[in-house]
């Protein structure tokens, strides 16, 4: 059976969705996702790139109040660093959830 083609770009096998200056990484059907908020940008060779990015590991349970959905939070310099730590947090959280 062929794999279903995702309608979103993926990073390391998980969907990556952009909404304005926010990026959501992960599958909303799973218990956790990562939210990346671009707080500031800079221009490099006529290209606008993220400078300060807030990373948040969030629970996707709609029954939990929005402020309590945030499990971990950090601020990183650059989108690559933010994606790197976000992917690690998400993988560990989902792996720990499978063990429970």
Per residue in 75-89, pLDDT tens?
Answer: 999 999 999 999 999
Q: Does some domain include residue 74?
A: yes
pLDDT(16) > 70: yes
Residue 99: what pLDDT?
Answer: 77
With respect to residue 24, please indicate whether it lies within any of the assigned structural domains: yes
Residue 34 has pLDDT above 60, yes or no: yes
Three-state secondary structure readout of the chain? CCCCCCCCCEECCEEEEEECCEEEECCCCCCEEEEEEEEEEEEECCEEEEEEEEEEEEECCCCCCHHHCEEEEEEEECHHHHHHHHHHHHHHHHHHHHHC
Domain that holds residue 76: 10-99
Averaged over 58-65, what is the pLDDT? 93
Q: What is the mean pLDDT of residues 48-75?
A: 94
95, part of any domain: yes
Number of domains in the chain: 1
pTM: 0.85
For residue 49, pLDDT beyond 60: yes
């Amino acid at each position: 059976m062929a794999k279903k083609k995702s309608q979103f770009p993926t990073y390391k096998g998980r969907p990556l969705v952009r909404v304005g200056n926010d990026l959501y990484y992960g599958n909303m059907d799973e218990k956790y996702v990562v939210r990346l908020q671009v707080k500031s940008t800079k221009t490099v060779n006529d290209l606008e790139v993220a400078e300060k990015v807030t990373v948040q590991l969030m629970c996707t349970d709609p029954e939990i109040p929005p402020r309590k959905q945030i499990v971990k939070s950090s601020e990183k310099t650059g989108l690559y660093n933010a994606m790197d730590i976000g992917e690690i947090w998400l993988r560990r959280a989902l792996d720990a959830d499978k063990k429970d």
